[in-house]
Structure 1
Amino acid sequence: MKIYLVRHGMDEEGYRGGWSERGLTEQGINQSKRLGEHLHHHAEEYNIHTIISSDLPRAVQTTREIEKKLNMQASLMKDWREMNNGDLAGMLHKDAEEHYPGVYFNTLEMDSPFPGGESPRDFYNRISTSFESLLRDIEEQTVKSNVLLITHGGVINILYYLLEKREWSNKSSFYPMDNTSVHTIEKGRHGWKLSSANVLSHLD
């Protein structure tokens, strides 16, 4: 049983992310196409039966390119969105600085939400719950393994901390996570573990 975590393709710079409705750049679309082609050419090796994606545009656009190559349809889920940064979502950096000076993901207290959004603890709890649910569904075979999960850097980072049983906060360091990188989780004798990290061979 495996889960392949994928971070979405490159999106537009200069804007706050989170629940931004902004999409991918041309390069991000190209990265996604190349990942789709790679997964298609190595279909037997990956043996993907289920695709799940965040429903934010940058993840959906990445997913659409993969769906075309694998001839499969994804389930789009709000649960796998990046942290909800509320009023700052998709805002130009300079506008965010003007209207919400000093308000960044890593400057919030764990229980302090973004204006109109989530707190870091809310975000962590949402991802923990979603992940536990997915693992249970795979183990009970209500979701068919192997699963391709297209999501966001902040989400995958939390999953690293969960899998390594390390305490997470919004001030924790980030694991390496490039656009369209693949991170593999496998179920072994001792439970679910990371077996490969930040793989980018499809872009070589």
Structure 2
Amino acid sequence: MRIFLVRHGMDEEGYRGGWSQRGLIEQGIIQSERLGDYLYHHSEQYKINTVISSDLPRAVQTTKELEKRLDIKAHYLKDWREMNNGDLAGMPNKEAEVKYAGVYFNTLGMDIPFPGGESPRNFYNRICTSFRDLGQSIEEQQVESNVLLVTHGGVINILYYLLGHQNWTNKSEFHSIGNTSIHTVEKGVDGWKFSGMNMISHLG
């Protein structure tokens, strides 16, 4: 049983991310196409049966390119969104620095939400619950393994801490998570563990 975590393709710089409704730039589409081609040509290695994606535009656009090549219809779920940064979502950085000076992901208290959004602790709990629910669904064969899950850097980073049994805060070090990178999680006797990290050979 395996879950392949994928970060979406490259999106626009200069804007706050989170629940931004902005999509991919051309380079992000190309990255997604290359990943799709790679997964198609290595289908025997990955044996993907289920595709799940965040429903934010940058993840949806990435997943649409993968759907074409894998010929699998994806399930788009709000559960796998990046952290909800509320009023700052998609806001130009310069505007955010004026309207919300000093308000960044890593400057919030763990229980202090973004204006109109969620707190780091809420975000962490949401992702932990979503992963545990997915893992249980796979183990109980309600969801067919192997699963390709297209999501966001902040989400994958939390899962590194969760599955590594390490404490996480919004000030914790960020793992290397490139655009369209693959991070492999496998179920073993000790539960779900990472067995592959930040694979980007398709971009070479």
TM superposition score normalised by structure 2: 0.99
Does residue 170 of the first structure (1) align with residue 166 of the second (2)? no
Pairwise CA distance, 1:188:
1.3
Q: Give the Cα separation in 1 of the matches to 2:94 and 2:47.
A: 45
Does residue 137 of the first structure (1) align with residue 140 of the second (2)? no
User: Which structure 1 segments of 5+ residues have no match?
Assistant: none
Aligned equivalent of 1:97: 97
Q: What is the count of residue pairs matched by the alignment?
A: 204
Code of the residue aligned with 2:176 in structure 1: it is P
Q: Give the Cα separation in 1 of the matches to 2:128 and 2:187.
A: 17
Q: Give the Cα separation in 1 of the matches to 2:63 and 2:126.
A: 22
TM superposition score normalised by structure 1: 0.99
Q: Give the Cα separation in 2 of the matches to 1:32 and 1:184.
A: 17
The DSSP-based 3-state class of the residue aligned with 1:73 is coil
Aligned equivalent of 1:63: 63
Pairwise CA distance, 1:44:
1.0
Aligned equivalent of 1:180: 180
Q: Give the Cα separation in 2 of the matches to 1:190 and 1:103.
A: 39
Q: Give the Cα separation in 2 of the matches to 1:189 and 1:19.
A: 36
Aligned equivalent of 1:75: 75
Where in structure 1 do 4 or more consecutive aligned residues deviate above 6 Å? none
Q: CA RMSD in A?
A: 0.4
Code of the residue aligned with 1:140 in structure 2: it is E
Aligned equivalent of 1:12: 12
Aligned equivalent of 1:54: 54
Q: Give the Cα separation in 1 of the matches to 2:199 and 2:129.
A: 26
Aligned equivalent of 1:119: 119
The DSSP-based 3-state class of the residue aligned with 1:39 is helix
Aligned equivalent of 2:33: 33
Aligned equivalent of 1:87: 87
Aligned equivalent of 1:146: 146
Code of the residue aligned with 2:32 in structure 1: it is S
Q: Give the Cα separation in 1 of the matches to 2:4 and 2:170.
A: 24
Q: Give the Cα separation in 1 of the matches to 2:203 and 2:112.
A: 39
Pairwise CA distance, 1:192:
1.0
